[in-house]
């Protein structure tokens, strides 16, 4: 009887401890958050998360927002142990865990925290003064167009390469026609478009993206639509058919058919479960504050935040515990 009682007591402690651990985080936490360069929406996202987390984590905690890498490179930072949590796109997260497209090998350290943070669109923007109205025409006429995108290793740069290939062009082709392909920072790309040093910017953007909105005020932009044929060539890579809503930017009066995906927050699989729980809980319960910091979060659907299963990324046990506690998943 005493033995049974002892076993029951141990089980009680285990159950009690398991139910209590999310509230027992007392040791300072030191986090490195992988985002994108200064001026990008993702940097604002990460800085917003950091501010919210600082108010939730134990006193003495520190959070470093890493302003580089991006939608492809962030997975590599996690893989090398140079970041603890990071922003990816749903599709690049899938590429990473499967070892496809931009990744030569599977990255098995990635686990999901919060999905569906926004709606991103892969936009092809040309300055009106460039005369570019169609990438099909660029390829057919071998026009000397100057392209810019985000840095090498970002989802924008990989997307530019895949989009150009869908239209039958490569970087080498464009350069041989007298054009240019320049992966660079958000600020430099914006400045080159405004100054007439670049003709087309291929970038993943939210509706109302700050840098694009600012550019559209000073420079007349044309948002180039993607035909169904081009979209179907990109879907196998994980892109989704969608449309950039009309009036997302100045001068863009109609919906623009293209492809897109949402941003997701992922973490190292070794991230302590109580930390993952608190990080997830903080974002899930502060959508209003997130929207005030960046309009892109208006499309965040907390009730769908646990759905990493749709693109094959394992959910972190700490995040899964939060979603189960809230009745969102079994």
List pLDDT tens digits, range 65-113.
999 888 899 999 999 999 999 999 999 999 999 999 999 999 999 999 9
Tokens of 293: 């910091």
Question: Residue 115 in contact with residue 306, Cβ under 8 Å?
Answer: yes
Q: What is the pLDDT of residue 195?
A: 97
Question: Residue 318 in contact with residue 280, Cβ under 8 Å?
Answer: yes
Which residues have CB under 8 Å from 131's CB, separation 6+?
Answer: none
Higher-scoring residue by pLDDT: 281, 151 = 281
Residue 294 has pLDDT above 80, yes or no: yes
295 pLDDT tier (thresholds 50, 70, 90): confident
14 alpha carbon, distance to own chain's centre? 37
17-31, 66-80, 103-117, 160-174: range with lowest mean pLDDT = 17-31
Q: Would you tell me how many other CB atoms lie within 10 Å of the CB of residue 82? A: 14
65 alpha carbon, distance to own chain's centre? 15
Mean pLDDT, residues 316-326: 96
Residue 24 has pLDDT above 90, yes or no: no
Q: What is the pLDDT of residue 5?
A: 41
Q: What is the largest CA-CA distance in the chain?
A: 88
Output the average pLDDT for the chain: 91
Mean pLDDT, residues 138-162: 92
279 pLDDT tier (thresholds 50, 70, 90): very high
Question: Residue 157 in contact with residue 203, Cβ under 8 Å?
Answer: no
Q: What is the pLDDT of residue 262?
A: 93
2 pLDDT tier (thresholds 50, 70, 90): very low
Higher-scoring residue by pLDDT: 282, 211 = 282
- Distance between CA atoms of residues 226 and 125, nearest Å: 12
Local structure of residue 247 (DSSP, 8 states): T
Positive or negative, the CA dihedral 279, 283, 289, 292 is positive
Which residues have CB under 8 Å from 323's CB, separation 6+?
Answer: 280, 305, 306, 315, 329
Q: What is the pLDDT of residue 22?
A: 55
Q: What is the pTM of this model?
A: 0.81
Q: What is the pLDDT of residue 21?
A: 56
Which stretches of the chain are assigned E, i.e. beta strand?
30-34, 62-66, 85-89, 110-114, 120-127, 146-149, 180-183, 200-205, 221-223, 240-244, 256-261, 263-268
Mean pLDDT, residues 44-48: 96
CA distances from 67 to 42, 53, 149, 323 (A): 9, 18, 16, 29
Question: Residue 155 in contact with residue 72, Cβ under 8 Å?
Answer: yes
Residue 41 has pLDDT above 90, yes or no: no
Helix then strand then coil, in percent of the chain rounded to 5, is 45, 20, 35
Q: What is the pLDDT of residue 12?
A: 35
Question: Residue 89 in contact with residue 262, Cβ under 8 Å?
Answer: yes
Mean pLDDT, residues 43-60: 96
Question: Residue 296 in contact with residue 41, Cβ under 8 Å?
Answer: yes
Domains of the chain with bracketed CATH: 23-118+262-325 (3.40.190.10), 120-261 (3.40.190.10)
Local structure of residue 235 (DSSP, 8 states): G
């Amino acid at each position: 009887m005493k033995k049974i009682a002892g076993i029951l007591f141990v089980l009680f402690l285990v159950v009690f401890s398991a139910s209590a651990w999310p509230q027992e985080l007392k040791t300072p936490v030191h986090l490195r958050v992988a985002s994108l360069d200064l001026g990008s929406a993702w940097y604002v996202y990460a800085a917003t998360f950091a501010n919210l987390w600082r108010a939730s984590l134990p006193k003495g905690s520190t959070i470093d927002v890493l302003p580089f890498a991006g939608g492809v490179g962030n997975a590599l930072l996690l893989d090398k142990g140079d970041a603890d949590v990071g922003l990816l796109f749903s599709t690049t997260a899938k590429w990473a865990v499967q070892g496809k497209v931009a990744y030569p090998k599977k990255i098995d350290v990635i686990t999901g925290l919060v999905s569906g943070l926004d709606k991103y669109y892969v936009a092809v923007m040309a300055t009106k003064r460039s005369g570019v109205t169609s990438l099909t025409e660029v390829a057919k006429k071998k026009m000397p167009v100057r392209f810019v995108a985000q840095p090498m290793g970002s989802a924008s740069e990989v997307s530019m390469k895949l989009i150009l290939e869908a239209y039958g062009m490569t970087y080498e082709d464009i350069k041989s026609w007298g054009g240019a392909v320049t992966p660079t920072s958000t600020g430099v790309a914006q400045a080159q478009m405004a100054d007439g040093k670049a003709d087309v910017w291929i970038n993943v953007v939210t509706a109302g993206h700050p840098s694009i909105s600012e550019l559209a005020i000073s420079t007349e932009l044309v948002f180039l639509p993607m035909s169904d044929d081009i979209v179907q060539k990109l879907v196998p890579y994980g892109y989704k058919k969608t449309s950039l809503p009309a009036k997302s930017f100045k001068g863009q009066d109609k919906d623009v058919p293209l492809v897109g995906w949402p941003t997701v927050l992922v973490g190292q699989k070794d991230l302590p479960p109580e930390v993952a729980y608190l990080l997830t809980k903080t974002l899930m319960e502060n959508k209003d504050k997130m929207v005030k910091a960046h309009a892109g979060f208006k499309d965040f659907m907390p009730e769908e935040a646990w759905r990493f299963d749709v693109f094959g990324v394992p959910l972190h046990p700490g995040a899964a515990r939060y979603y189960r506690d809230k009745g969102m998943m079994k």
